[in-house]
């Protein structure tokens, strides 16, 4: 593939063509060659109509030189169940929806709702999934294609719900899922959505009957625009009930969201301040924190050998675990003291500030536990 890509780039460079290279994150080593080739084209002078387009998943292997010269566009799913549902529904052309029969419209709406729930459930962390999965709009597109094929072959007969649920839950979306419990969750959602009641009006929130005032019904088959109006008017703010979870499920998610927001605000705050303003700089905060930690733990050390000698009998299982924990704690204390003393030498100018030292300083400044 790299030979073909280079040949296309060479032709486009001389004749002014456009070239698109998909999924470049899969060939990180070749990207270094691509960067050098683009440098050569820039020095030589390309055709004025020459353009290169790159597509990639989020990756740390793309050379900085390529990123710097690119105009970068991102396509991320919107936040919130309502926005995801509208985006999923509007992904399909209006003419395609209008020409579909009533059964296909209803099933497609249920499929879009399932897609939105699957996408948004990951925000609940371990309560959502045991692992992170790369669900995308492509899964919805392929599922809709299979749905259309089945509906065309059914000739108005009974809807093959079992076949559709197997394709959606085990192949299209299930192809990403490797954990058995996560697969079970996806299939249970499909069991709830994909049923005959979906063709008329049915509740789309699992266990919603246990909560008062929280409900979202699937509409009767109607036009493309009226489906969007139905979503706007009847889907209220996001709630864990929409996912079949307890209302308290969002406490942890909202807490993490708030912490992330404030950490970002602190990181974006100006760090260089004048002495007249009275605010402490990151270096001053880090010095004070480092001194405080050294005052508390500078002389701390667990004498494991003395403890072993003091035991009247040989160490049992509980004593062995305790001794192991003491040894681990000694290693931790040694690393704390070493890294703080190294940081202090950096403040004094005796050592060059490294990335790890700057990260430690910012952790002290933002009142966070430093990374290992």
What confidence score (pLDDT) does residue 272 get? 64
Per-residue tens of pLDDT for the chain, all 372 residues:
778 888 998 898 888 889 999 888 888 888 888 888 888 888 888 888 889 899 988 888 888 888 888 888 887 767 888 999 999 999 999 999 999 888 999 999 999 999 999 999 988 888 889 988 888 888 999 999 999 888 888 766 788 899 999 999 999 999 999 999 999 999 999 999 999 898 888 889 888 777 777 888 898 888 999 999 999 988 877 888 888 888 888 888 888 889 888 888 877 776 665 545 556 778 888 888 888 888 888 888 888 888 888 887 777 888 889 989 999 999 999 999 999 999 888 888 888 888 888 888 888 888 888 886
Q: What is the pLDDT of residues 152-187, one digit of tens each?
A: 887 667 888 999 999 999 999 999 999 999 999 999
At 278 the pLDDT is 58
Strand 51-54 vs strand 18-21: parallel, antiparallel, or unpaired? parallel
pTM above the 0.85 mark? no
Q: What is the rounded CA–CA span in Å between residue 103 and residue 301?
A: 72
Q: CA–CA distance from 119 to each of 13, 85, 93, 115, 146 (Å)?
A: 40, 10, 21, 6, 20
Q: Return the pLDDT at 159.
A: 87
Nearest to 37 by CA among 73, 69, 60, 71: 69
Give the C-alpha separation, 207 to 211, whole Å: 8
- Convert the pLDDT of each residue in 74-108 to its tens digit: 877 678 889 999 999 999 999 999 998 889 999 99
* C-alpha distances out from residue 352 to 9, 27, 100, 285, 355, Å: 43, 35, 67, 19, 10
Query: Hey, what are 42's tokens?
Result: 């820039």
Residues 6 or more apart in contact with residue 102 via CB below 8 angstroms: 199, 221
| Cβ 218 vs Cβ 205: under 8 Å | no
Q: Are 345 and 355 in contact (CB under 8 A)?
A: no
Residue with tokens 């912490």: 259
Cα-trace Rg, the chain: 29
Tokens of 21: 């290279």
| Dihedral-angle region of residue 359 (phi above 0 means left; psi in -120 to 50 means alpha; beta otherwise) | alpha
CB 57 within 8 A of CB 27: no
pLDDT for 242 equals 87
Distance CA 232, CA 228 (A): 6
The label of the residue with tokens 């390309």 reads 46
| Tokens matching residue 211 | 């909560």
């Amino acid at each position: 593939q790299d030979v073909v890509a280079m040949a296309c780039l060479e032709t486009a460079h001389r004749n002014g063509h456009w070239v698109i290279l998909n999924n470049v994150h899969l060939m990180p080593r070749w990207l270094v060659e691509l960067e050098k080739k683009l440098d050569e084209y820039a020095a030589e002078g390309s055709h004025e109509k020459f353009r290169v387009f790159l597509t990639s998943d989020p990756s740390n292997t793309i050379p900085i030189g390529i990123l710097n010269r690119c105009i970068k566009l991102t396509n991320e799913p919107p936040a919130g169940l309502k926005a995801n549902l509208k985006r999923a529904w509007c992904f399909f052309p209006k003419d395609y929806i209008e020409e579909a029969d009533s059964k296909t419209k209803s099933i497609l709406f249920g499929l879009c709702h399932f897609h939105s729930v699957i996408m948004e459930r990951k925000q609940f962390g371990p309560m959502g999934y045991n692992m992170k999965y790369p669900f995308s709009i492509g899964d919805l597109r392929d599922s809709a294609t299979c749905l259309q094929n089945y509906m065309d072959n059914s000739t108005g007969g009974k809807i093959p719900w079992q076949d559709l649920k197997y394709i959606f839950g085990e192949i299209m979306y299930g192809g990403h899922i490797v954990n058995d419990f996560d697969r079970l969750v996806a299939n249970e959602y499909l069991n709830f959505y994909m049923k005959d009641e979906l063709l008329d009006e049915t509740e789309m929130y699992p266990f919603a009957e246990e909560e008062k005032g929280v409900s979202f019904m699937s509409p009767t088959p109607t036009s493309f625009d009226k489906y969007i109006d139905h979503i706007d008017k009847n889907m209220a703010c996001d709630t864990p009930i929409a996912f079949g979870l307890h209302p308290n499920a969002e406490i942890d998610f909202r807490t993490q969201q708030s912490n992330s927001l404030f950490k970002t605000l602190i990181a974006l705050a100006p760090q260089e301040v004048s002495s007249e303003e009275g605010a402490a700089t990151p270096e001053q905060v880090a010095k004070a924190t480092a001194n405080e930690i050294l005052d508390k733990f500078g002389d701390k050390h667990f004498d494991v050998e003395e403890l072993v000698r003091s035991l009247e009998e040989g160490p049992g299982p509980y004593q062995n675990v305790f001794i192991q924990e003491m040894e681990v704690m000694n290693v931790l204390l040694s690393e704390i003291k070493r890294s703080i003393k190294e940081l202090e030498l950096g403040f004094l100018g005796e050592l060059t500030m490294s990335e790890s030292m700057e990260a430690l300083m910012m952790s002290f400044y933002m009142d966070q536990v430093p990374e290992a």
